Amino acid sequence: MELWYKKPAAYWEEALPLGNGRLGAMVWSGVEQEKISLNEDSLWSGYPQSHDIPGAEKYYEEARRLAREKKYCEAQALIEENVLGQYTQSYLPLGELILDMVHPEGEVSDYRRWLDLEKAMCGLRYSVGNVSYAREAFVSAPDQVMVMRISADKAGKVSLRAGYTCQLRATVSAEDGCMVLDGIAPSQVDPSYVNSEDPVIYEEDPKKKGMRFCAMLTIRQKGGTVRQLPEGLEVMKAWGFQYKTNIIWEKVRKDGGPDGRGVGFYFRNVTEMLLFGVKGANIRTLSPARTQVNLIRSQKREHSRKPDEMIKLIEACSPGPYLELFARGEREGWTLWGNQANESYAPDWPTYSSAEAQAIAL
């Protein structure tokens, strides 16, 4: 059985549902922009805690007695006052995968999106000018992934820009060939039917922090290229900076060997590129830069946290003021931009003294 439609979804309920019992997706099937609303069944607000009510069983038995005597109001009041616990926590949206499509000039025609209920697949077909496009998607139970195939009937006509949006506290980064959405859930979310001045709470106490979550996007193209560097250069340019060079971060183990835990699909990636730029006229490097190589060897910390050794290298070689984009936490003397760049942030992993010595020696 197949359901089909002649226009994109206008709101969430019109999107086409896919899932495997754990992962869920609502596919909107827009022409210029594909939006996929993502869910994962374990992503809830809250943190581990006990809601046991000591002595609740005696009130329960008393309420049963009152109910048998048809004293229903008294039984109800007793239960509500002595047996009911706190509100359950809230199921949360993981985020949205956004695909901004690039098409040739021409009118859109032959639009048709469909959901195959027997195959648990959805798809979209349309034409722009003289090029026909197709998208097909499903969520695999054995592999626990969502897959979308995007194609065109003419070579070189599939072009898009991918990104994430998220209603929770999250950052987006590119690592080892993947685009990663990394976030944290609230510690408390009051039900929507409760009138609350502060319905969403993020606690900073480590024992009360919400659960961490992550989504990863990998693109496997047939022909063509997948580019990350041009996007970073566009962001730098938008902030008014001029790209000058990059710093290569080689990730090592405690024993100094390469940390090959990257998820590269061709090689085990152990390096990451940090972009460096300047803003303003006549900005010149300081004298230590004449002998400083653009390589840092240090251990990995939390996901998306840049190496602390980078700070000393830049401060020694370039005059301030300093700005870090997509920062993870506060740094003295720096202006920071990033969802997790706040005063209460505390690193989860230490800065390793051995790795710091390696970086200074370079």
pLDDT tens, position by position, 158-200: 888 888 889 998 887 777 678 888 899 999 999 888 888 889 9
**d(C-alpha 121, C-alpha 166), whole Å:** 25
**d(C-alpha 132, C-alpha 250), whole Å:** 44
Query: How do beta strands 200-201 and 212-217 pair?
Result: unpaired
In this predicted structure, the answer to whether residue 92 has a pLDDT above a threshold of 50 is yes
208 token code pair: 């009360």
pLDDT tens, position by position, 293-305: 888 888 877 656 7
| pLDDT class of 36 with cuts at 50, 70, 90 | very high
Domains defined along the chain, listed by start: 2-43+91-217 (2.70.98.50), 229-361 (no CATH)
- Tell me the sheet residues that pair with 126: 133
Give the CA radius of gyration of the chain.
26
pLDDT tens, position by position, 124-140: 999 999 999 999 999 99
| pLDDT class of 355 with cuts at 50, 70, 90 | very low
By the 8 A CB rule, do 304 and 326 touch?
Answer: yes
Identify the pLDDT of residue 265: 44
**d(C-alpha 149, C-alpha 153), whole Å:** 13
Where does residue 105 rank: exposed (0-12), middle (13-18), buried (19+ CB within 10 A)? Answer: exposed
Average pLDDT score, the chain: 84
Q: Phi then psi for 84, rounded to 5 degrees?
A: -65, 135
In this predicted structure, the answer to whether residue 343 has a pLDDT above a threshold of 60 is no
**d(C-alpha 281, C-alpha 173), whole Å:** 30
**d(C-alpha 43, C-alpha 94), whole Å:** 7
341 token code pair: 């760049």
- Mean pLDDT for the stretch of residues 234-261: 81
| pLDDT class of 38 with cuts at 50, 70, 90 | very high
Q: Name the E strands within the chain.
A: 2-5, 16-19, 23-27, 33-40, 95-102, 108-116, 121-128, 131-140, 145-152, 159-165, 169-175, 178-184, 188-189, 200-201, 212-217, 242-251, 271-278, 295-298, 322-325, 334-337
- Mean pLDDT for the stretch of residues 208-218: 93
| pLDDT class of 288 with cuts at 50, 70, 90 | confident
In this predicted structure, the answer to whether residue 349 has a pLDDT above a threshold of 90 is no
Using a pLDDT cut of 90, give the percent of the chain over it. 42
Identify the pLDDT of residue 356: 30
